Amino acid sequence: MCVRPDRNRRWSANALPLNIRCSASRAPLSFARRLPKELPALSPIDPRKPLPYLNFMAIREIIKLPDSVLKKVSKPVEKITPEILALMDDMLETMYAAPGIGLAAVQIGVPKRLVVVDVARDEGPKNPLFFINPEIVWTSEELNEHEEGCLSIPEVYDKVKRPAEVRIRYLDRGGREQGMHCDGLLATCIQHEIDHLNGVLFIDRLTRLKRDRVIKKFAKAAKREKADA
C-alpha cells in the first residue's frame, strides 16, 4: 500500500496506528531488540547513515497491473526458512525504496502469504512489522474511510471504506503465533495487504466503472510498452 506523495504531509491524529494491542505474554519483540547487540545505535533522522537492518537486503521489482500474478491467491508458508526471512527483508527494503507503507510478497511475484508494513510517520523512527500467514479473526462494525494507493497500481488513489478496527493472527519471524489489535491507518494497511494475499486489489472495492477505467488504462500502457520493446 502507498499514500499520495506529499512532502508536507503529516499524519492526522485520527490516522495514526494507535492502540496496537498485544497481550503482554505474547507481545512481539520490537525489530530493534532483534538486532545484534554489537551494532551501534544510529540516528533515524540522519539520512547519511545507512540503517543496519538494510545492509544485506535487495530491492526487488514490483509487478504492476495488469500482471495476472496479482490475482493469484497466495499459498501459506509451511516452514520459516532462512530464505523466507531473506525474502521478507528484501520486501522491506523494496517497500521503503518505492516508497510505500505496506507490501505483500505476491507484489514482487512470490505468491506466499507474507506481508511487511511500516506506517510510522515520516519524521519518526522506522517501525517495521513482519507478518507470516496473517489472517483477520475479527472486524469492527464501525467503518473508516481512507484514501488508498497501491505500489502495483502507481499514481492511482481513491477512497475505500473498511472496518475501522481489526484483530489479526499471524506468525512472527521466529514462527511463534501472535495476535494484534489494529486501528487507524494500520488497520487499513493490513486489510489492504491481506487483500493482496487473496488476489484482491483495492480497485476491486471501487465502483465497477472506476475499476474498469483503471484496468483499461494500465492494459493500454502495457500494450504500448510491449510494442515499443
Would you please indicate which residues are annotated as catalytic (active-site) residues? 193
Dump strand ranges (E) for the chain: 102-104, 114-117, 129-139, 143-150, 153-163, 165-171, 177-183
3-class SS at 3? coil
Angle among Cα 186, 189, 193 to the nearest 5 degrees reads 140
225 and 218 in contact (C-beta within 8 Å)? no
Residues 6+ apart with CB under 8 A from 130: 31, 88, 92, 114, 115, 116, 172, 173
User: Which residues on neighbouring strands pair with residue 166, listed in sequence order?
Assistant: 139, 182
